[in-house]
Amino acid sequence: MSGRTDKVTVEQSRPGQRLDTYLRSVFQAVSRGAIQRLIEEGHIKVNGVVVKPTHSPRAGEEISVYWPEPRPAQAQPEDIPLNIIYEDDDLVVLNKAPGIVVHPAAGNEEHTLVNALLHHCRGKLSGIGGVSRPGIVHRLDKDTSGCLVVAKNDVSHTSLAAQFAGRSLEKIYLAILCGVISRPGGDIRAAIARHATHRKRMAVTEDLGRQAWTSYRVIERLHGATLVEAILHTGRTHQIRVHFQHLGYPVAGDDTYGKRENTRLKELTRYAAPRQLLHAQKITFQHPRTGKKMSCEAPWPSDFQTALQALRPGTS
Does 141 qualify as catalytic in the annotation? yes
Q: What residues contact 181, with CB distance under 8 A and at least 6 apart?
A: 218, 221, 226, 228, 249
Answer yes or no: are the C-beta atoms of 165 and 233 closer than 8 Å.
Answer: no
Q: Which helix (H) or strand (E) holds 219?
A: strand 213-221
Q: Which helix (H) or strand (E) holds 265?
A: helix 255-269
Catalytic residue among 141, 143, 154, 254: 141
Pick the closest to residue 227 from 263, 170, 271, 184 (CA basis): 184
Pick the closest to residue 237 from 278, 194, 196, 208 (CA basis): 194
Supply the DSSP string of 35-101, one letter for each residue: HHHHHHTT-EEETTEE--TTPPP-TT-EEEEEEEPPPPPSSPP------EEEE-SSEEEEEEPTT--
Answer yes or no: are the C-beta atoms of 82 and 94 closer than 8 Å.
Answer: yes
Q: What residues contact 264, with CB distance under 8 A and at least 6 apart?
A: 178, 224
Burial class (CB in 10 A: 0-12, 13-18, 19+), 132: middle
Other C-beta atoms lying within 10 Å of the C-beta of residue 209: 17
Q: Which residues are catalytic?
A: 141
